[in-house]
C-alpha cells in the first residue's frame, strides 16, 4: 500500500464528494440525515441539501438525487479543473521527490515489514 497513492485517491474523492454531495468523504458517511422539503407543486423548498450524507440518501432518495444532480450541474467545471490540478501536482511531486521517497521506502519502510510504502 502506497501512502502517496492513498493521499491522491483521497484528494480525488474529496473533489467528487465536495462537488456532488457538498461534503467531505468522511462527512458523507458520518453526516446527519437532515434533508427536508416544504411546499406544494412547483413551489418546493429544499432545506438541509447543502451537505448531503448517506443518511439523506436512505431517508429521502428522490430529494437527495435531485440535490446531487443540481450540485453536479453547478460544480462540474470546477471539479474537472481541480481533478486535473490534483493529477498534475501528484505527477510532478512524485517525479521531483523520487530519490527521497525511494530512500525512505528502502531504509525505513522496508525494514519495518508492514507492507506500507511512501
Q: Which long-range contacts (CB under 8 A, 24 or more apart) does 71-75 make?
A: 71/19, 71/20, 71/21, 71/22, 72/19, 72/20, 75/18, 75/19, 75/20
* Reported pTM: 0.84
Residue 96 pLDDT grade (very low, low, confident, very high; cuts 50, 70, 90): very high
Q: What is residue 21's predicted lDDT score, i.e. its pLDDT? A: 92
Cell, residue 42: 412547483
pLDDT of residue 44: 60
Q: pLDDT value at position 115?
A: 81
Domain boundaries, given as residue ranges, for the chain: 3-112
pLDDT per residue as tens digits for the range 7-66: 999 999 999 999 999 999 999 999 888 887 777 666 666 676 678 889 888 988 888 898
Instruction: Give the pLDDT confidence score for residue 46 in this predicted structure.
Output: 67
For residue 107, pLDDT beyond 80: yes
Amino acid at each position: 500500500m502506497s501512502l502517496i497513492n492513498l493521499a491522491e485517491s483521497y484528494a480525488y474523492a474529496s473533489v467528487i464528494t465536495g462537488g456532488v454531495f457538498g461534503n467531505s468523504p468522511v462527512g458523507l458517511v458520518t453526516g446527519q440525515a437532515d434533508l427536508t422539503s416544504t411546499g406544494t407543486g412547483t413551489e418546493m423548498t429544499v432545506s438541509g441539501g447543502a451537505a448531503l450524507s448517506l443518511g439523506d440518501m436512505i431517508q429521502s432518495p428522490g430529494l437527495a438525487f435531485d440535490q446531487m444532480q443540481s450540485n453536479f450541474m453547478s460544480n462540474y467545471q470546477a471539479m474537472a479543473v481541480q481533478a486535473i490540478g490534483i493529477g498534475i501536482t501528484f505527477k510532478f511531486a512524485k517525479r521531483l521527490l523520487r530519490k527521497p521517497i525511494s530512500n525512505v521506502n528502502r531504509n525505513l519502510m522496508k525494514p519495518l515489514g508492514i507492507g506500507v510504502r511512501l
